[in-house]
Amino acid sequence: MEQMNTQRGATWLRLLANGAAPAHDSPSVKACDAQLAGQPARYIAVVPDPAGRFPRARAGEVGLVEGWQLARAVQEVVAMDREAAVKRPIVAVIDVPSQAYGQREEAYGIHQALAGAAGAYAEARLAGHPVIGLVVGLAMSGAFLAHGYQANRLVALDDPGVMVHAMGKASAARVTLRSVEALEKLAASVPPMAYDIGNYASLGILWEVLQVSDPAQPNEVDLALVRHTLEAALADILQDTARDLSGRLHGKHRQASRRVRELLATQWEAAT
């Protein structure tokens, strides 16, 4: 599953950034400066690095180095535009099979590295940088939290190889004391438990789901559609005064989230 998808991030990054050379020499986090809607933008992807120093983060996983490199790539954009009236957009090209699972990772605080990345994206968004997440492959768990989940708008390709989830099936079964079969059966009837992009889209978190002919090897039409959608997402962010993630709360499966916020807002003032 993981091997199947890991080239997608690099492929889409190259196409969207028109082959621009990466801004840094990091082998696993590529940040490329190119245009979006006729203005400068930064495109960022995590890609496999078979020669990576940390053995558990060689197949495109977000590990210690990747988390902090993502943070640096995003912080740099915020620093570049600190005095600028127009903040350049950031496009996270997402194909991340998981966070790195390893003893070294926990020892050196992978949670902190991923916080570096998530925090940098959130700060960029709050500073006025339009942030768009484009899911072209896997968007799993902590890796997605670090790379893309803080975006103003999320766009995903409609394809069986595109999946969003909190944990791989075998581990999720072990932790919840279920068999993989029982887990799959439940996932079919409980939308947030499903692994496919259709069920995920029903949660109302995605801004757009796109049909392309070949997500692994996109043709000109696919590329044009994705470019057009990124431009539309950018326009939608620019006309929106909200810099938070409230746009994700409107789906039919987010009733509990809305109810909680209504109650809190009413009771908050009364409690002072």
Partner 1 sequence: MTTHIEELLQRDSFIERSARSRAKALLDAGSMRELAGPFDRLHSPWLAMQQLVTQADDGVVVAKGLLAGQPTVVLAIEGAFQGGSMGEAGGAKIAGALELAARDNRRGIPTQAVILFETGGVRLQEANLGLAVIAEIQSAIVDLRRYRPVIGVSAGTVGCYGGMSIAAGLCSYLVLTREARLSLNGPQVIEQEAGIAEFDSRNRALIWGLTGGEQRFATGLADACVQDDTAEVRATLVGLFAQGLPERHRSERADDFLAALARVDTGTQSTPADVRTVYAKGAQ
How many residues bind partner 1 (CB under 8 A)? The answer is 83
Nearer to partner 1 among residue 211 and residue 255 (C-beta): 255
Q: Pick from 5, 11, 141, 229: which binds partner 1 (CB under 8 A)?
A: 141
Choose the binding region for partner 1 from 8-16, 34-42, 173-181, 234-242 (rule: CB under 8 A): 173-181
DSSP 24: S
Name the nearest CA neighbour of 229 among 66, 24, 16, 3: 16
- The backbone region for 31, taken as left when phi is positive above 0, alpha when psi lies in -120 to 50, beta otherwise, is beta
Q: Pick from 10, 34, 193, 232: which binds partner 1 (CB under 8 A)?
A: 193
User: Under rule CB under 8 A, which residues in 204-223 are in contact with partner 1?
Assistant: 205
Spatial contact of 90 and 41, defined as CB atoms under 8 Å apart = yes
Choose the binding region for partner 1 from 3-11, 37-45, 85-93, 138-146 (rule: CB under 8 A): 138-146
Distance of alpha carbon 265 from alpha carbon 261, whole angstroms: 6
69 binds partner 1 (CB under 8 A): yes
Q: Whole-number minimum distance, CB 66 to partner 1, in Å?
A: 11
Distance of alpha carbon 201 from alpha carbon 159, whole angstroms: 12
User: Under rule CB under 8 A, which residues in 80-109 are in contact with partner 1?
Assistant: 98-99, 101-109
68 binds partner 1 (CB under 8 A): yes
Q: Whole-number minimum distance, CB 250 to partner 1, in Å?
A: 13
Spatial contact of 116 and 62, defined as CB atoms under 8 Å apart = no
Q: Whole-number minimum distance, CB 136 to partner 1, in Å?
A: 18
112 binds partner 1 (CB under 8 A): yes
Q: Whole-number minimum distance, CB 197 to partner 1, in Å?
A: 11
Q: Pick from 166, 212, 225, 232: which binds partner 1 (CB under 8 A)?
A: 166
Distance of alpha carbon 30 from alpha carbon 52, whole angstroms: 14
- The backbone region for 148, taken as left when phi is positive above 0, alpha when psi lies in -120 to 50, beta otherwise, is left
Paired residues of 94 in beta bridges: 135
Q: Pick from 16, 64, 157, 162: which binds partner 1 (CB under 8 A)?
A: 64
Q: Whole-number minimum distance, CB 270 to partner 1, in Å?
A: 8
Distance of alpha carbon 137 from alpha carbon 95, whole angstroms: 4
Helix (H), strand (E) at residue 72: helix 64-80
Q: Whole-number minimum distance, CB 166 to partner 1, in Å?
A: 4
Nearer to partner 1 among residue 20 and residue 115 (C-beta): 115
Q: Whole-number minimum distance, CB 202 to partner 1, in Å?
A: 10
